Structures are given as C-alpha cells and as structure tokens.
Amino acid sequence: MSVPRHGGPAKRRPGPAVICIIFFLFGAVWTLVAGILLPSMVGWKDWAFLLVASGLLYLLIRHYTGGLSGSEERYRTVVESAGSIILAMDREGKITFFNRRAEEFFGFPREEIIGENALGTIVPATESSGRDLDQMLQDLLSSPGRFQVNRNENVTSAGKRVRVAWTNRALCDDAGFPVGVVSVGTEIPD
C-alpha cells in the first residue's frame, strides 16, 4: 500500500516490467508499420529502429526514475545535516559510510576512513574497563539484532577515548541477507 505524500495520493512508479512492455509494443508497431510503409528503406529501416528505440528507452527510463534523484538528494541532506553520528559498516567491519557529524566527532576525514576497519580506527580493541570490543564488534556484525542499542567506548583520531550510545540496524540486500550494519550514535557526556 502506498503512503500519501503531502496530503495527496501517492504516486506509484511503474517498474521495469512496464518499461519492457512499452518497449515491446513499440517494437511490434514499428515492425508492422515499417513492413507496410517503408519497404523501400530496406537498409535504413534497422538503423532507424535502433535510433528511435534507443531514444524511447532513454525517455522511459528517465521518466520513471527521474523522481529518484530528488529523493536521494533530500535523504542525503537529512543524513549529512543530522546532529547524530551516522556510519555504516560491511560484514567485515570496514566503514562504508561516514556522515559529516561522524567526521567532526571522530576527526577522520571520510576520504581516509571509508574502507578502513572500524576496529583500530574508531573502535579500540579493548575499553578502558577491559571489555573486549574486538569480540563485541564481531558479534554486532554477525548478529546486529542483539545490539540494537549499545554503549561502548570509542576513540577519536587524536586518541581521545569517548563514550557513545549507538542504535544499530542490519543492512540487508534485496534477498534480505544481512550485508552490514548502520549505526547512529550520540556522545555520552562524562
């Protein structure tokens, strides 16, 4: 069920199947019309079809995916301007996303931290209390549901130990298989 936006009815965008059906119908009509009206254009018929079909396909794809870029831009603006630390990791613990607040808080530019393992950069192997954060991170990555809310010590690029309250969720692929974790955090004041 679609959720209405701004009080109006929700727009449903046709998927790839609709684009394929439109493209097929265009091809069928072209074949019929070209056979009847353009028999003298034997050599040019195929090239004309490719040119017109490519243009139609481009317009269909652009029309049906055009709203996506606006949604992505709004999403990116919200995530980048959030006052919370937001980061994502793959199943190996490599950082795949680091928002602006995470950069400010931890002191790592995203160009340097993306692709690096969280352990040893923003997560120390052990907390000051002796808690094994290496094991905790491995458990989080393999079973994110067990760590929906978690508090742990982290470390900045300057080596300062800081405490962060994290909310974690599994990132899943189209088949529902967990491929990583997204974490949203706020500093716990001393």
| Residue 147 covered by a domain | yes
Q: In this predicted model, what pLDDT tens digit does every residue of 9-39 receive, in sequence order?
A: 445 555 667 777 777 787 777 777 766 665 6
CATH number for the domain that contains residue 87: 3.30.450.20
Token pair belonging to 150: 């978690």
pLDDT of residue 6: 38
Q: In this predicted model, what pLDDT tens digit does every residue of 50-93 receive, in sequence order?
A: 677 777 777 777 776 666 566 777 777 788 888 899 999 999 99
Rounded to an integer, what distance in angstroms lies between the CA atom of residue 119 and that of residue 57?
46
Outline where 38-108 has alpha helix (H): 42-81, 100-106
144 contact partners, CB below 8 Å, separation of at least 6: 168, 169, 170, 178, 181
165 by DSSP, 3-state: which? strand
187 by DSSP, 3-state: which? strand
| Same domain, residue pair 95 and 175 | yes
| Same domain, residue pair 102 and 160 | yes
| Same domain, residue pair 57 and 108 | no
Residues written for the chain: 190
| Same domain, residue pair 157 and 173 | yes
> The whole model's pTM is what?
0.64
Q: Please identify, among 79, 97, 123, the residue that sits at the C-terminal boundary of a domain.
A: 79
**105, 85 Cβ separation under 8 angstroms:** yes
